[in-house]
């Protein structure tokens, strides 16, 4: 098996990075006209900065108001707008769904793609993955596209102004990266590109986890005050770049499959991706029989930043046996990344791991005097 490492062509991050968008695109040879796919709030906050930045770089641009759902119909509307504008590059700006829609459309039309997330809430911005939803919000399709973004621009001043809950959810998604990467390496699993992992991907995944431990709490304090600090910069890089490179080039394992299982339970629907992944990670550690020290470290980190470690915290305070079985079965469907664990995984073991993780999380909170 060949080793494969995949990444965006360029990653740019910092305070006021939006002002450099046009120049960074021009430096890479990305051409206009540019179609910016953005929701109402991203456009209100950044519209003037985009206009200025594109004008200086000599790029013509048009903004397409994102309809709110990364659905087939919305991708088709973006395709229409891109054709009408004669676009050569699509910029997906704002939340994950606007970015995913822009990415999917750029692929369908064979255009260049730039990712400009306004949140550090998941590791999707650097990836070549677009999630397509039904109009009512269920996951319909996960598209693994051939190319990563040509450019990723993260403006930390914008991230600092977003609700703290999104940054914390991003930490939940990022916390799983190292533990899932390690499981994949142990089992010699294929990564999202069908290749073997690299030492580079593993080193980045481990750095991601160390950065969360070091900077997670202080970055959260920074976002609560809406200020940009070196700690926030490092944490945003961990949530966005390190976690993105780690999951795509090393691979996912049980935490994300258990997340997928949890989405079957209506109680979890108000929870963000990274919040469910956080409990998924707790269950992965229980499933693996992870060392006591590791469990303590993960629970310590998660509870310090306010990530879920119990079923109640992901909206499943009264989970019944039938729903538990359904979650466990969904988590272990063929093709799920849980099968990247270095041992065979059965639904019964997952159901028990979920209950064990919940008990562990509740005991930890009780000891910490948090309930």
Catalytic residue among 100, 173, 215, 358: 173
Mask of contacts with Zn ion, 172-211, x by CB under 5 A?
-x--------------------------------------
Least CB distance from residue 244 to Zn ion, whole Å?
9
Q: Which of 259, 318, 320, 339 is catalytic?
A: 259
Give me the residues paired with residue 133 across strands.
Answer: 71, 139
DSSP code for 309: -
Ramachandran quadrant class, 308 (left: phi over 0; alpha: psi -120 to 50; beta: rest): beta
- Window contacting Zn ion (CB under 5 A); options: 47-55, 168-176, 229-237, 361-369: 168-176
Q: How many residues bind Zn ion (CB under 5 A)?
A: 1
173/215 with CB nearer Zn ion:
173
Q: Which is nearest to 104 in space by CA: 64, 132, 138?
A: 132
Is the Cβ of residue 173 or residue 360 nearer to Zn ion in the bound state? 173
* Pair of tokens at residue 52: 């200025």
Residue 127 or 303 having the CB closest to Zn ion: 127
Q: Nearest residue to Zn ion, using CB?
A: 173
> Of 77 and 276, which CB lies nearer to Zn ion in the complex structure?
276
What CA–CA distance (Å, rounded) separates 163 from 322? 35
Strands 89-94 and 139-144: unpaired
* Closest listed residue to residue 183, CA positions, set 261, 285, 276: 285
> What does the DSSP assignment read for 40-98?
HHHHHHHHHHHHHHHHHHT--EEEEE--SS-BHHHHHHHHHHHHHHT-SEEEEEESHHH
Of 78 and 357, the one with the shorter C-beta distance to Zn ion is 357
Tell me how far, at minimum, the Cβ of 109 lies from Zn ion, in Å: 26
**Segment 297 to 316, residues that bind Zn ion, using CB under 5 A:** none
**Least distance (Å) from Zn ion to the CB of residue 170?**
9
Q: CA-to-CA distance for 18 and 154, rounded, in angstroms?
A: 8
Q: How far is the CB of 173 from Zn ion (least distance, A)?
A: 4
Nearest residue (CB) to Zn ion, 112 versus 177: 177
Instruction: Give, rounded to a whole angstrom, the gap between the first and last alpha carbons of the chain.
Output: 49
The reply to whether 269 belongs to the active site is no
Radius of gyration of the chain (CA): 20
| Preceding peptide of 33 cis, ω within 30° | yes
Q: Segment near Zn ion (CB under 5 A), from 113-121, 166-174, 227-235, 322-330?
A: 166-174
3-state percent helix, strand, coil for the chain, nearest multiple of 5: 55, 10, 30
Q: What is residue 207's three-state secondary structure?
A: helix
Minimum distance from CB of 255 to Zn ion (Å)? 8
Considering only the stretches 15-23, 169-177, 207-215, 228-236, report the one whose residues sit in contact with Zn ion under the rule CB under 5 A.
169-177
- Could you say which of 61, 64, 107, 256 is catalytic? 256
Q: Which C-beta is closer to Zn ion: that of 79 or that of 177?
A: 177
Q: What is the DSSP letter of 368?
A: T
- How many Å apart are CA 235 and CA 212, to the nearest integer? 6
Assigned token pair, 325 = 């079985």
- In the complex, minimum distance from the CB of residue 306 to Zn ion, in angstroms, rounded to a whole number: 18
Active-site residue (options: 273, 339, 352, 358): 273
Is 273 marked active-site? Answer: yes
Q: How far apart are CA 151 and CA 21, in angstroms?
A: 9
Active site residues: 173, 256, 259, 273
Q: Which residues bind Zn ion (CB under 5 A)?
A: 173
């Amino acid at each position: 098996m060949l080793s494969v490492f995949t990444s965006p062509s360029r990653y740019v991050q910092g305070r006021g990075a939006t002002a450099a968008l046009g120049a960074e695109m021009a430096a890479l040879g990305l051409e206009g006209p540019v179609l910016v796919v953005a929701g109402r709030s991203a456009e209100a906050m950044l519209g003037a900065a985009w206009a200025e930045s594109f004008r200086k770089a000599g790029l013509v641009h048009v903004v397409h108001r994102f309809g709110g759902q990364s659905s087939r119909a919305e991708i088709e509307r973006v395709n229409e707008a891109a054709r009408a504008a004669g676009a050569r590059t699509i910029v997906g700006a704002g939340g994950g769904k606007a970015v995913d829609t822009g990415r999917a459309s750029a692929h369908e039309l064979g255009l260049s793609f730039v990712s400009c997330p306004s949140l550090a809430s998941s590791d999707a911005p650097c990836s070549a993955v677009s999630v397509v939803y039904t109009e009512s919000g269920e996951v319909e399709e996960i598209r693994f596209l051939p190319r990563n973004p040509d450019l990723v621009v993260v403006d930390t001043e914008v991230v600092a102004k977003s609700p703290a809950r999104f940054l914390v959810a991003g930490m939940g998604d990022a916390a799983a990266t190292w533990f899932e990467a390690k499981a994949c390496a142990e089992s010699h699993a294929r990564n999202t590109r069908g290749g073997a992992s690299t030492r580079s991907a593993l080193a980045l995944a481990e750095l991601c986890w160390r950065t969360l431990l070091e900077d997670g709490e202080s970055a959260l304090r920074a976002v609560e005050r809406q200020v940009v600090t070196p700690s926030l910069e490092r944490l945003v890089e961990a949530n966005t770049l390190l976690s993105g490179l780690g999951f795509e080039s090393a691979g996912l394992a049980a935490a994300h499959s258990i997340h997928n299982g949890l989405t079957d339970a209506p109680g979890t629907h108000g929870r963000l991706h990274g919040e469910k992944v956080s409990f998924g990670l707790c269950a992965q550690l229980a499933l693996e029989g992870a060392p006591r020290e590791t469990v303590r470290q993960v629970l310590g980190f998660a509870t310090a930043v306010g990530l879920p470690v119990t079923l109640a915290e992901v909206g499943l305070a009264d989970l019944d046996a039938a729903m538990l079985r359904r979650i466990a079965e969904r988590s272990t469907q063929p093709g799920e990344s849980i099968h990247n664990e270095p041992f065979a995984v059965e639904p019964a073991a997952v159901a028990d791991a979920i209950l064990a993780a919940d008990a562990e999380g509740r005991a930890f909170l009780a000891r910490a005097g948090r309930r």
